[in-house]
Amino acid sequence: MRNIFLIPILLAALSAQAEESRYVPVCMSGNVVGQGNCPAQPKPGNQPSDWSCTRDNKTNLVWSIESGKGSWNYAQGEYSKAANQESRCAFSSGWRLPTHNELLTILIKDSSSVAQIQAQGNRNINQSAIDTRFFPETPADAYWTADSFTHDPSFAWFVYFKPGLVNEGNTYTDFKSVTKHIRLVHEAR
């Protein structure tokens, strides 16, 4: 009878292990953690041996762990251009605002995943619906997507990284002139 109670615990542990292998930290140089000049436990930053991106092995996307703020037009223009000029994680072009669907792939949508990460001692999970072990210092706030709202092009879609909201998917629209957070993405090679 006791074994019945162990099954949910084992399933949670396997799920947490799968998530850990899903994401891989990448240093500014483009090397993954533990390879080349990228140490086994790099600190976040913008130097060649600093952790600057996270690769998602499930979607084959590379996410900048740095997030900025600005209007939708700023995110699409100046902010993306600046990331491409600095050769972030060995990519000197191709950094862009993610699509609505791409951004939803890193949103934690279910409470059991939130509970698993909390159990692993992640102090920030109550603040943001994202795995902050791989996306550190992510505020529980709105992030622009590249998608304009079809019915009114002065609006664009954003994803709100706050757990427990009533809108499934945490997706909304707002005027493009409003300031929101920005997280850039690049397709892995």
Tell me the residue ranges of DSSP E strands in the chain.
Answer: 23-27, 51-56, 61-70, 142-148, 155-160, 171-175, 180-187
Can you give the pLDDT of all 189 residues of the chain as single tens digits?
454 443 343 334 334 444 558 999 999 999 999 999 999 999 999 999 999 999 999 999 999 999 999 999 999 999 999 999 988 999 999 999 999 999 999 988 765 555 555 555 554 444 678 888 999 988 888 999 999 999 999 999 999 887 765 555 678 999 999 999 999 999 987
Confidence (pLDDT) at 116: 55
CA distances from 175 to 45, 96, 148 (A): 31, 19, 10
CA distances from 116 to 5, 18, 67, 120 (A): 16, 12, 25, 7
User: Using CA atoms, how far apart are residues 98 and 162, in angstroms rounded to an integer?
Assistant: 18
Confidence (pLDDT) at 58: 95
Confidence (pLDDT) at 170: 79
Q: Pick left, alpha or beta for residue 22 (phi over 0 → left; psi -120 to 50 → alpha; otherwise beta).
A: alpha
Confidence (pLDDT) at 4: 47
User: Using CA atoms, how far apart are residues 21 and 174, in angstroms rounded to an integer?
Assistant: 35
Confidence (pLDDT) at 26: 97
What number of other Cβ atoms are within 10 A of residue 133's Cβ? 17
Confidence (pLDDT) at 14: 36
User: Using CA atoms, how far apart are residues 64 and 75, in angstroms rounded to an integer?
Assistant: 13
